[in-house]
Chains A and B, each alone.
Chain A
């Protein structure tokens, strides 16, 4: 008799444990879903938060801040505001513009593409019955302008899309003066950067940024130009300020490059 009573008590305990654990699971389930959703949505931000901490602990606190304090008044920083030169204030959070970013030409990619002769492209597209995609950057007219001296069409076909000729810069400057598009300004910034004219590339990046302050590329070229002119700390500071607002992976990579001395 006593045995059964004890057994019943054990059963009550077992039942309480079972109900407790199933209730816990029941309550935990929506939390898991919500957590999963949150991580899914804010994954980039979380990743960036961790990254930020790393950067802050490695550089800003130890090296950058004291130097910045000295140069604070002189630092030129690109901001989304129309004024391009403002005092640096890292802690201040500015509103982000949700305007779409204008597609930027990846010069490196263009360079790679340019090794392939145009003729081959044409042949391929014909054989496959696919229409060749028109050049988004330079029209046929523009191309002929670039090589106006040459009348040989076969040579024209071999022209690389990416050109380092003076004509290209002139043409782009002309184009920019007409269109006032940040794309042209940025292309010029890149071209000057590639040529090693960092002061000019900085200037053109600034122009592009004035028109559209949300262009990652303009910030990156600007900072990279600074870095090339031995202003690494300033460059990192600028990019960090921008990164703080946008959490752009591209910017993050640029910061890393500058930090590691690759630029």
Chain B
């Protein structure tokens, strides 16, 4: 039995793996907008929302779905050094590696990109762009102006709203997709789908509507928080299952454990 809860725990380890993606109605809608945006002659697309709303997950899904059909590159971690960033861009476009003692000249890169006009269209997916410097963002803008390179960027809503507001972004980001926190029903679907996907239908059915509401009230519909929360819940379950199995019911989900996890994570003050 203990393996059951251990396995359940593992489902909720936070990751942006393709398998971890759960189809939700609003996420599917956003994905379609994003995909159709790439078909249009747009220079940049912006995905923004609060942390844990599924931006990285959506970007990851887009990459895996299009990597066979399109020339697409995914920078899941931000590259803070300008030198390194330009090198990675050039290497991705040219498929050549540059020796460590050499650096990419930006003007040269722009000329190179312009030379590829009407021949190729390269998509770059950049996650966590709020960490990029302003000058680097300006270079990204100039690169997108060549119409050879197209960028899909993600931004944290709170951190970089002023960046979005800046004139050069206003005129260039043509498609803005806002990601929001999940509603209680979305969250219920998300948790159930995750469990059922791994064959834990019985445990998924143990959770009542009230339990889902409680989880939502703790995590506020944030996917990252939900994963963390349920990981903690099943961690506690695992303990009881091994040490004091009489304390847990096999029919009903334990509110006590939900509350204990809430206390441990600081959602409620015990």
A interface vs B, CB < 8 Å? 1, 4, 7-8, 10-11, 13-15
Contact = CB atoms under 8 A, between A and B. Distances in A.
B266 to A, nearest CB: 11
Given A11-B270, A14-B268, A1 B259 contact: no
Given A10-B270, A14-B268, A14-B270, A4 B263 contact: no
Contacts of A15: 259
Contacts of A4: 236, 239-240, 243
B239 A1 contact: yes
Q: For chain A, what secondary structure do more than half of its interface residues adopt (helix, strand, loop), or is it mixed?
A: helix
A73 to B, nearest CB: 72
B260 interface: yes
Interface residues of B, number: 12
Contact of A8 (B260, B268, B269): B260
A11 B268 CA distance: 10
Nearest to B242: A1
B263 A7 contact: yes
B209 interface: no
A7 to B, nearest CB: 5
A11 B239 CA distance: 16
A1 B243 contact: yes
A13 B260 CA distance: 11
B264 interface: yes
Contacts of B259: 11, 14-15
A4 B243 CA distance: 11
A4 B268 CA distance: 16
Given A4-B236, A7-B236, A14 B263 contact: yes
B268 to A, nearest CB: 7
A233 to B, nearest CB: 64
Interface of B: 236, 239-240, 243, 256, 259-260, 263-264, 268-270
Nearest to A4: B239
Contacts of A11: 256, 259-260, 263, 270
Contacts of A13: 270
Q: For chain B, what secondary structure do more than half of its interface residues adopt (helix, strand, loop), or is it mixed?
A: helix
Contacts of B269: 14
16 contacts: A1-B239, A1-B243, A4-B236, A4-B239, A4-B240, A4-B243, A7-B263, A7-B264, A10-B270, A11-B256, A11-B259, A11-B260, A11-B270, A14-B263, A14-B270, A15-B259
Contacts of A14: 259, 263, 268-270
7 A-B pairs with least C-beta separation:
A14-B270, A10-B270, A4-B239, A11-B260, A7-B260, A10-B263, A7-B264
Contacts of B239: 1, 4
A14 B263 CA distance: 9
A92 B108 CA distance: 108
A77 B240 CA distance: 85
Nearest to A9: B270
A15 B263 CA distance: 11
A175 B268 CA distance: 82
Nearest to B238: A4
Contacts of A1: 239, 243
A10 B268 CA distance: 11
Contacts of B263: 7, 10-11, 14
Contacts of B236: 4, 7
Nearest to A10: B270
Contacts of B240: 4
A1 B263 CA distance: 16
A8 B270 CA distance: 10
Contacts of A8: 260
Nearest to B256: A11
Contacts of B268: 14
A15 B268 CA distance: 11
Contacts of A7: 236, 260, 263-264
Nearest to A12: B270
A213 B240 CA distance: 82
Contacts of B260: 7-8, 10-11
A15 to B, nearest CB: 8
A195 B269 CA distance: 77
Given A7-B236, A11-B260, A11-B270, 15 more contacts: A1-B239, A4-B236, A4-B239, A4-B243, A7-B264, A8-B260, A10-B263, A10-B270, A11-B259, A11-B263, A13-B270, A14-B263, A14-B269, A14-B270, A15-B259
Contacts of A10: 260, 263, 270
Nearest to A11: B260
A21 to B, nearest CB: 12
A4 B236 CA distance: 7
B228 to A, nearest CB: 16
Nearest to B243: A1
